[in-house]
Chains A and B, each alone.
Chain A
Amino acid sequence: MRTKQQARHAQHGVVFSALLLFSLVLLAIQLWLFVGALEGLLDGRTFMPVPAAAVSLIVFGVQIWMFLGMRRLERQD
């Protein structure tokens, strides 16, 4: 029979994997934004780089938030 500690540990593992996958998706989105911003710059269009940078910054904030959350989970284990 699993103890409460073991169950919590397994649950944290699932949460951690989900965060990791989500982080990878966010990184792919950031890469796409970066390429879009670079293309806009080289093409002379100014409407793309600024919103792309703003969204990328927000995504980075989410990544930090998840990283801190992950550390909190680790401390609970």
Chain B
Amino acid sequence: MVEKELRDEFPIDWEDDDYVTRREFFRFLTLASGGLALGSGVIAGFATFSRSGRSMDRKLVGKATDLKPGQSMNFNYPRPNDLCILIHRSEGEFVAYSRRCTHLSCPVSYQHDKNRLYCPCHNGVFDVVDGSVKQGPPPRPLPKITLERDGDDLYAVGITRGVEA
């Protein structure tokens, strides 16, 4: 109150105007802490509710006869923007993985000649058999899409996420 009266009486700028008191700095730290706690809470809420509400419905991926052994095709599961890849490894044996590299989410691609899934961003390599990391910086295996076969039709029915090595 006294300071405000003085300011009104002597409206002159001086260098101590830029001085941040310890109390002001502490208040800033407390506010920043509150912001981070709030942000973490929002992230936690989003992670919990958006995932519990996400459907893992059976979704038709394609026909088994459409892919010859050694070929692959892309599809989206469970949401339209979730990239996945279906691979016909050998006669009648299909595997599917998320295409998002577990390092920095670059899309991986299937290299039939080297029998691997390759991420071009940082030379990450995943095993085609189980999605495990064979080379590079990815910390976890690729999420595996569970497939079901009904006659000639292939369905995606769920996702199994790998754990950190």
Chain B residues near A24: list those with CB within 8 A.
Answer: 29
Contacting pair B40 A34 (CB below 8 A): yes
B17-72 residues at the A interface, CB under 8 angstroms: 22-23, 25-27, 29-30, 32-34, 36-37, 39-41, 43-48, 51
How large, as a class, is the contact surface on chain A?
35 or more
A27-61 residues at the B interface, CB under 8 angstroms: 27, 30-31, 33-34, 37-38, 40-46, 49-50, 52-54, 56-57, 59-60
Contacting pair B22 A49 (CB below 8 A): no
Question: Within 8 Å of chain A (Cβ to Cβ): is B143?
Answer: yes
Chain B residues near A40: list those with CB within 8 A.
Answer: 47
How large, as a class, is the contact surface on chain B?
20 to 34
Chain A residues near B26: list those with CB within 8 A.
Answer: 19-20, 23, 66-67, 70
Contacting pair A30 B48 (CB below 8 A): no
Contacting pair A41 B47 (CB below 8 A): yes
Chain B residues near A64: list those with CB within 8 A.
Answer: 30
Contacting pair A44 B161 (CB below 8 A): yes
Contact of A63 among B29, B140, B143 (CB under 8 A): B29
- Which 3 A-B pairs give the minimum distances between C-beta atoms? A53-B44, A60-B37, A53-B40
**Known pairs A20-B26, A30-B36 / 13 extra A-B pairs, C-beta < 8 Å:** A20-B25, A23-B26, A26-B33, A27-B33, A38-B43, A41-B47, A49-B44, A52-B44, A53-B37, A57-B41, A60-B36, A63-B29, A64-B30
Q: Which residues of B contact A (CB under 8 A)?
A: 22-23, 25-27, 29-30, 32-34, 36-37, 39-41, 43-48, 51, 102, 105, 140, 143, 161
Q: Which residues of A contact B (CB under 8 A)?
A: 16, 19-20, 23-24, 26-27, 30-31, 33-34, 37-38, 40-46, 49-50, 52-54, 56-57, 59-60, 63-64, 66-67, 70-71, 74
